[in-house]
């Protein structure tokens, strides 16, 4: 969806229409083409993930930040058949975090150890870096519809996730990037506010654009605070890019969405091979297969397993 605006008396170009109450994502480019930006209110997405996986607060924050980044990165894909996977494999107790987004930015994910509980860090905040770990790898896998996926890997630099995503863009894609991600967990462990933004300098950006961006980022509150205060994604980017003319390219709604199905489960079982399928069929009357992303359970009887094995 593309929406063009009119030039206001200020320096920013925004659409005439008010965004729908369901819009939680905005994508922009500056009028000079120097900066592109993405912002997402992911509160509902992260709360849905928390409900599905029953995550402890620090895992809610770590998984929520990763879901938010993955959704925005999904909207950078060029084709509707593409998908992106973000995997964080740190040495912390949470273990691996894996999130997948489609071309539209609808996202799903899970953490290997969702019940990890840690004391607050020295700043009195959830210790995301302690949960993720400060060493390990961030893997980005892009399914671009080609024979082989694109795979990028960079070392974890902080475990805070936003800095790690920024480092990935700098090293693997050579794109100067500002990434902010945040999750506020309420007293009842529900998600009070979550979201993030990604700002990227385009190849033709000049020194003045860099200086403007640095000034703006230094002044803005943490993104989870802005969302908790009721700021929309468009308002957050407006504050960040107040010195630029800006065109909104997309305003839309992103959600937590799993695409599991009986057919996908069957294909996964078939990939186990004939010998393993026959072994399972012999040992059990039926097996239960759970989707890692949504916890939906599928019952597969032994006769179906034998059928998949070619009997």
Task: Give the per-residue pLDDT at 145.
Answer: 82
What is the mean pLDDT of the segment spanning 203-223? 89
> Distance between CA 104 and CA 83 in Å, rounded?
9
229 and 295 within one domain: no
Could you read off the pLDDT of 186-205 as tens digits, one per residue?
A: 999 999 999 999 999 999 88
Q: What are the residues whose beta carbons fall under 8 Å from the beta carbon of 218, sequence distance 6 or more?
A: none
Domain that holds residue 289: 262-308
Task: Give the per-residue pLDDT at 146.
Answer: 84
With a pLDDT cut of 90, the percent of the chain lying above it is: 81
119 and 35 within one domain: yes
274 and 151 within one domain: no
Task: Give the per-residue pLDDT at 255.
Answer: 97
Task: Give the per-residue pLDDT at 176.
Answer: 93
What is the mean pLDDT of the segment spanning 161-181? 97
| Residue ending a domain, choose from 234, 252, 270 | 252
What is the mean pLDDT of the segment spanning 31-45? 96
pLDDT category at 311 given cuts 50, 70, 90 is low
User: Is the residue at 257 inside a domain?
Assistant: no
Beta carbons within 10 angstroms of residue 157's beta carbon = 15
> Which CATH number covers residue 146?
3.55.30.10
User: Is the residue at 77 inside a domain?
Assistant: yes
> Which CATH number covers residue 286?
3.90.1280.10
Task: Give the per-residue pLDDT at 25.
Answer: 98
268 and 167 within one domain: no
Could you read off the pLDDT of 239-292 as tens digits, one per residue?
A: 999 999 999 999 999 999 999 999 999 999 999 999 999 999 999 888 999 999
For 128, the token pair is 């995301």
Mean pLDDT of the chain: 91
Residue 175 confidence (pLDDT) above 90: yes
Task: Give the per-residue pLDDT at 207.
Answer: 86
Number of domains in the chain: 2
Residue 23 confidence (pLDDT) above 90: no
pLDDT category at 17 given cuts 50, 70, 90 is very low
**pTM reported for the whole predicted model:** 0.90
User: Is the residue at 208 inside a domain?
Assistant: yes
What is the mean pLDDT of the segment spanning 135-139? 98
């Amino acid at each position: 969806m593309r929406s063009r605006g009119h030039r206001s008396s200020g320096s920013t170009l925004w659409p005439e229409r008010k965004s729908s109450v369901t819009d939680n994502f905005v994508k922009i480019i500056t009028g000079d083409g120097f900066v592109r930006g993405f912002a997402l209110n992911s509160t509902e997405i992260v709360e849905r993930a928390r409900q599905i996986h029953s995550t402890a607060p620090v895992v809610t924050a770590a998984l929520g930040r990763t879901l938010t980044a993955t959704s925005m990165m999904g909207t950078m894909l060029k084709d509707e058949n593409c998908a992106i996977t973000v995997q964080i494999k740190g040495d912390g107790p949470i273990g691996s975090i894996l999130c997948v987004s489609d071309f539209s930015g609808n996202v799903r994910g899970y953490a290997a150890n969702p019940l990890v509980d840690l004391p607050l860090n020295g700043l009195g905040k959830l210790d995301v870096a302690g949960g993720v770990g400060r060493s390990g790898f961030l893997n980005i896998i892009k399914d671009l519809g080609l024979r082989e996926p694109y795979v990028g890997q960079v070392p974890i630099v902080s475990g805070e996730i936003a800095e790690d995503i920024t480092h990935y863009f700098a090293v693997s894609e050579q794109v100067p990037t500002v990434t902010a991600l945040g999750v506020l967990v309420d007293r009842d462990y529900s998600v009070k506010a979550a979201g993030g933004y990604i700002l990227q300098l385009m190849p033709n950006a000049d020194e003045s654009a860099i200086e403007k961006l640095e000034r703006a980022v230094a002044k803005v509150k943490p993104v989870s605070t802005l969302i908790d205060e009721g700021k929309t994604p468009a308002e957050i980017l407006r504050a960040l890019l107040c010195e630029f003319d800006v065109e909104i390219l997309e305003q839309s709604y992103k959600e937590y969405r799993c695409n599991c199905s009986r057919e996908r489960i069957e294909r996964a079982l078939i990939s186990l091979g004939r010998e393993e399928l026959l072994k399972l069929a012999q040992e059990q009357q039926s097996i239960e297969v759970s989707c890692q992303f949504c916890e939906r359970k599928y019952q597969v009887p032994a006769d179906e397993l034998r059928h998949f094995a070619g009997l």
